[in-house]
Chains A and B, each alone.
Chain A
Amino acid sequence: MNQHPHVLVIDDEPQILRALRTILGARQFRVSTASRGEEGLALAAAQPPDLVILDLTLPDIDGFEVCARLRAWTQVPIIVLSVRDDEGAKVRALDRGADDYLTKPFGIEELLARIRVGLRHAARTQGAAQVIVKAGSLEIDLSQYKVLKGGVEVKLTGTEYKLLAYLIANAGRVLTHRSLLTSVWGPADADHVEYLRVFIRQLRLKLEDNPEEPKYLRTEPGVGYRFDLDD
């Protein structure tokens, strides 16, 4: 990643474009903007960005389609920024390849944090796979299937480990219930959110310092879960 990551913002609201250009520019990002879906896709192809911020309601093609068409050729992190806060829209965008979802209005600190996570995740997937992942007092050795908390090994069942490994491999990304269930339990169990609830509860009891206020295993209401490496 270079010194000045390139962020492409696709949004039809001129005020949002202006605000993001100013704010992100001040944070040393290179910002390009598009107010239509096709324009955004063309820009992305001409100067591949390091991260895309995408609105769902665009005048020509909607954000879901932009998402799907970007994913046809690039793994660039996509953060959806939308006034739509229904879970259906979130799940649809995430299932079409978006990495994260932020509802307008949003705090700029929140957006910057999500951008950092997205860029870091992209750097990780491009480089060699990380073998040892550290997050706070947790240390997970993916080659040894070993989880340490404060230096003490934590015993996990097969499923718990599988779930944790999948979450960590996608750290920072929002994973929908469906994608978690499909990759850990299999497509036949894709709708059984109740399994997920129970296993997340168990993992939190084993890994979190305070299971009542989880730091790592974050819930995305009505959508899914996210493993947070940030403290």
Chain B
Amino acid sequence: MQRPLVHITVRSILAALMVVLASGLMLLVRNWVTTPTVALLYLLPVGLSTAAWGLVPGLVAALGAFVAFNYFFLPPFFTLHVLHAEDLLALVVFLVVAVTMSRLVGRAESNLARAQAREHEAVHLHELTAALAGMHDDTTILQALAEHVRATFRGNEVQVSLQAEAGGPVEVVASPSHRASPESRPTIALPILGMRGMMGEIAIWRAAGGLTSDELRLLGTFSREAALAVERVGLAEAKSRARALVQSDALKAAILSSVSHELRSPLATIKASVTSLRTALVPWESEAREQLLQAVEEETDHLNELVGNLLDMSRIEAGSLKPQRQWNDLGEILQSVLGRMRSALAQHHVVAELPADLPLVPVDWVEIEQVFRNLLSNSIKYSPPGTTVRIVAREHTPWLRVEVHNQGPAIPEMYLERIFDKFFRFTAQDQVAGTGLGLSICKGIVEAHGGRIWVENLSPGVAFKFLLPLTWEGARPREMESHEPTSSRPGD
């Protein structure tokens, strides 16, 4: 209380000084102005003092002005005698002006203060909603709410608890986060209300004491905003779950229709071959027997590959395809693929152009082998026998760039991207066998390695191209020479 008193005193002295100054000025010009004008002019220091410093300095100015007016300008001059009662009217007018103005100014000031407070609230609220808008999980929303509540209400501690789903876990977030919640009761605790009633609570501990009604209103708005954000997240999750279900249903339907056809045809061949082999119709030592047996073997391999593709696809779909990276020699991988596919590739000229100094590449051997196998079987499926299939690899820092070229028919421009989609084929199913999974598996594997795969039309032919990163956790393979064991050849 000391301070306002000092303020008022200082300001009152200033007001008095202003009256003295005004009196001095008017004494200088007294020969040119009439007494009523002087009285009018004395309203200036009274009005200014009130406007600038408030009621008490205004009253001081009013009294001072009356005294000065009376002393200097009303006869008898230089006395405080009042000759006419009407001269007292000046005092009354001065006082009324001071009081009225102070009230007007006071109201304007409080309006301004309220407007500023509103703006403040609006800014805080805007900051909170802006922060909440981009958030996708409950924890970050609660964290943001706690931080904003603490900053806005100058709380020492804020704790927000929330149960997003009925029967679900209750999440508690505190700000500052590192501190355990205080033992004492919070200064205020406000429920967070959502569509299905109370979802949680905001608790504030603050040394400055309870909240004003404006602050309470703002806190209520904060809590509603947070409830909305949490509910929005819940709805978005529910929606994406629903969409995923619809997609996986569509995928299952596509798999079933594609796979049942693909599984049945080899099974039909196997069954037909084996049953005819059991009859006496096929002689023990004959060309026919040999052919039937070959058909059985080829079709079992085909079935096995099909099941493998389905497993790979489901792993890619489930996001559980995690490459087991090792430093590998791409040439060695390709060798192994070409070895295994020798009979399938026999109808085509396969040319591999790999530089001898190709660096090691951090990949999952089995998966990259699968990529080659799928690209090669796609190439021989679509390009006529006798044509060349070329495999080219080159270092393209920081990538290893691999290309598989074949002489197949050009792919229409609009299908260049879609060709890697599951079950996509632009030729009729009965023309070329396959599940339509091979290329999408390639895409899944290459992307799981952090690479990229695409297809380009050549003239003539088609080129599948993919990039694989040459670094693993940011590094190239370790230098060999320095790690050669020191033991020398024992025989020398």
Contact = CB atoms under 8 A, between A and B. Distances in A.
A146 B485 CA distance: 19
Contacts of A107: 297
Interface stretch (B51-59, B78-86, B198-206, B329-337): B329-337
A166 to B, nearest CB: 12
Given A222-B324, A222-B364, A162 B480 contact: no
Interface string A178-221: 00000011100100111101101100000000001110000101
A2 interface: no
Nearest to B334: A212
A186 B483 CA distance: 11
A58 interface: no
A192 B478 CA distance: 8
B491 A197 contact: no
A29 interface: no
A160 B329 CA distance: 18
Nearest to A161: B489
Contacts of A145: 489-491
Contacts of A85: 308, 366
Nearest to B297: A107
B403 interface: no
Given A146-B491, A193-B327, A195-B480, A185 B485 contact: yes
B485 A194 contact: no
A156 B477 CA distance: 23
Interface residues of B, number: 31
B324 A213 contact: no
Contacts of B365: 87, 221-222
Interface string B316-350: 00000000101111011101100100000000000
Contacts of A201: 329, 332
B304 interface: yes
A219 B332 contact: yes
Contacts of A222: 324, 326, 364-366
Nearest to B477: A194
A222 B333 CA distance: 10
Question: Which residue, A184, A186, A197, A201, has most C-beta atoms of chain B within 10 A?
Answer: A197
A88 interface: yes
A157 interface: yes
Nearest to B308: A85
B312 to A, nearest CB: 11
Question: Which residue, A156, A161, A162, A222, has most C-beta atoms of chain B within 10 A?
Answer: A222
Contacts of A144: 491
Contacts of B336: 219, 221
B194 to A, nearest CB: 46
B143 interface: no
A157 B489 contact: yes
Contact of A197 (B327, B366, B483): B327
A159 B478 contact: no
B431 interface: no
B413 interface: no
A197 B328 contact: yes
A197 B339 contact: no
Nearest to A104: B304
Given A158-B489, A197-B327, A221 B369 contact: yes
B287 interface: no
Interface in B197-230: none
A156 B326 contact: no
Contact of B478 (A162, A177, A186, A194): A194
Contacts of A219: 332, 335-336
B275 interface: no
Contacts of A161: 489
Contacts of B324: 87-88, 222
A120 B474 CA distance: 46
A158 B485 contact: yes
Contacts of B490: 145, 158
Given A87-B324, A221-B369, 12 more contacts: A85-B308, A144-B491, A157-B484, A162-B487, A189-B483, A193-B328, A194-B478, A200-B332, A221-B333, A221-B336, A221-B365, A222-B365
12 contacts: A156-B489, A158-B487, A162-B487, A177-B326, A194-B480, A195-B478, A197-B329, A198-B480, A212-B335, A219-B332, A221-B366, A222-B326
Interface of B: 297, 300, 304, 308, 324, 326-329, 331-333, 335-336, 339, 360, 364-366, 369, 477-478, 480, 483-485, 487-491
3 interchain residue pairs of minimum CB distance: A145-B491, A194-B327, A194-B477
